[in-house]
Amino acid sequence: MKTLILIFAMSITAANLITQREDAPPPREGAEARQEGRRGESQTLTSEQKAKVADVLAKYKASTMTAADARAIHEAFRDAGLRDGPALKQIMEEAGFDLDKLRDLDPPPDKNMENNQPSDDNQREIENSKASGDNKKEPVQAKVKQKERGGDKNRAPQKYCIEQAISDQAQLHTIAFSGLAFITGDFGASTFIPPGKVCDFFGFQYMRDIDAAQKGHNPIFLNRVAGNVLYILNDKQRAIFEQAARQEAEQMRVLAEKRFPLIKAFCRELNAENPSGSKGLNKEAVVQYVGDIFAFDAELSYRRARIFGQIAASFTPAQKEYLAKMKFGDFNTWPDVDVDKYKLPRGTEKMVNVAYMTYASEFFSWYAGSVNADIYFCPERHGTYFGGFYMKDMPAMGKRDYDISTSVTGDSGKEFINNLTKEQRNNITAIPDLQRKDLQEVIAVRRVISTELRKFINGGSADKEKVIALGRRYGELDGEMSYYYAAAFAKVNRTLTAAQRQMFIKLRNLDGYTSAPAYIYSSPVREEVNLPDTDSFFFPPKAANSGKK
């Protein structure tokens, strides 16, 4: 027990260190660099302005900076006539603050986009098309608009980091997206989840989010990286992955099925189907159950890391050299290997194939990545029981080359919130404050787990019991946040008008899609699933049996 207390104390302490990032952001180029230069060249700070900066920053802590804090700081700077630039950056750094981090949390508004006008460079593209006598004005303008929205493949990828993932705006819109999915969906859709959202301590999510080629959310991304890993492995090494995948397939299925009773209870809460004697979901029961799920997840992660360490230790110099040429987070540096040559034989159980490909792809992100990449999670990593993944990913299912929009979650979540009444909206907008402490601890716990698992990559051994105990704590945090979501969605659902429901179904944008009764990750279960009694989620754990009498 003393050991666990020490572990959790270390976890909380680590929360204060999460803003230190292992890799410096890439240098700004082109128009952004020129604009930043113009901002900084024209201003030096007077003694009075320096004092103002110090006065503003004194109200905040750099280690616990939120999006709301960043907005308040920016507003205070603007009111004082302070502009971004080297002088401001220097004095902020002396006070322990990072100007780039503030920009990540509260990005500057794009004036061109606010006014529905293209940037200077793109405006010149339109004008050049006119001057050359090109009558295809609309296609050129449409192309420019696509570039302004981020559809230009030559643009630098969006920067992602933990600070952005837990920012109030990212969290709020992601939660709202889940609310939209849950209210307009059903039990089956809510069970859908990508396999990569479990046992996710291996940096794959970060690698796909920062991909320089912006292919991270295209099905060919996983095939490309897995194909290269399987190509460079020898027969004995591939056999280790295959054996592990066959052993893990059933465990992965169990992990998916453990989610079903919880999701059913959330659906009952949504539809006010509470058992007699209960006023609604019991937070303690939810927290305890999700803790069990994540403890099992952590055990599987431990086994996966041990296999990865075994493979890394067996590499030849030639294998190391090949993988060194593949850049972490740059799809364009990965050779186009025919992954089908290295897949398991036709007729192999699908879950085994999924595990095998997961081993191959996540091995590279772990081997070539860092502990910070392992710690990273996207905003939708938690509260995965409400059908958001089904709503976003279903159009890509079965398509070999399909880019899932990275803005659909934020855009649809924002639209959902905008079409709620003030009272309805308050149920959703209150959640970021409710879960703030949980998210901070999540990062700390993930840091300790990821650091522990990385001991395998250097030939060491991780503490299995420590990993599982921390995994259980991780689940308790996820369970508490998920309880907040389910309770809020249920309150909103009970007050929606018929017009709002019709509007939200349209916003769901899945006409023609019908969910299966359930999903084992993304694989449909064609028959109704038999679930255990879910009344226990509506009573305190110790009183569950007596409460149902």
Mean pLDDT of residues grouped by 10 in the chain (549 residues)? 47 44 37 37 70 82 65 74 75 79 57 34 39 40 37 47 91 96 97 93 95 88 95 97 96 96 98 95 98 98 98 97 96 94 92 94 97 94 96 81 72 95 97 97 98 95 98 98 98 97 95 94 91 95 53
Phi, psi of 327 (to 5 degrees): -80, 135
Q: pTM for the full model?
A: 0.72
pLDDT at 327: 96
What distances in angstroms separate CA 522 from CA 18, 50, 257, one per listed residue? 32, 55, 12
pLDDT at 44: 75
Q: For the stretch 441-453, what's the b/e string if a residue is b when 16 or more beta carbons lie within 10 angstroms of its beta carbon?
A: bbbbbbbbbbebb
Residue spans per domain, the chain: 29-108, 115-148, 162-370+387-547
CA distance 365 to 329: 9
Q: What is the pLDDT of residue 150?
A: 35
Phi-psi region of 110 (alpha: psi -120 to 50; beta: other; left: phi over 0): beta
Query: How buried is 83 (Cβ within 10 angstroms: 0-12 exposed, 13-18 middle, 19+ buried)?
Result: middle
Compute how many other C-beta atoms are within 10 angstroms of the C-beta atom of residue 1. Answer: 5
| Contact (CB, 8 A) for 431 and 485 | yes
- Locus of tokens 């220097």: 90
Residues 6 or more apart in contact with residue 111 via CB below 8 angstroms: none
> How far is CA 19 from each of CA 116, 163, 408, 440, rounded to the nearest angstrom?
34, 7, 27, 11
Helix (H) or strand (E) run with residue 260 in it: helix 235-270
For residues 353 and 343, is the Cβ–Cβ distance under 8 A?
yes
Which residues does 347 contact at the CB level (< 8 Å), separation at least 6?
Answer: none
Residue that is written with structure tokens 């502990």 in the block:
371
Please name the helix (run of DSSP H) or strand (run of DSSP E) that holds residue 92, with its range, or none.
helix 86-94
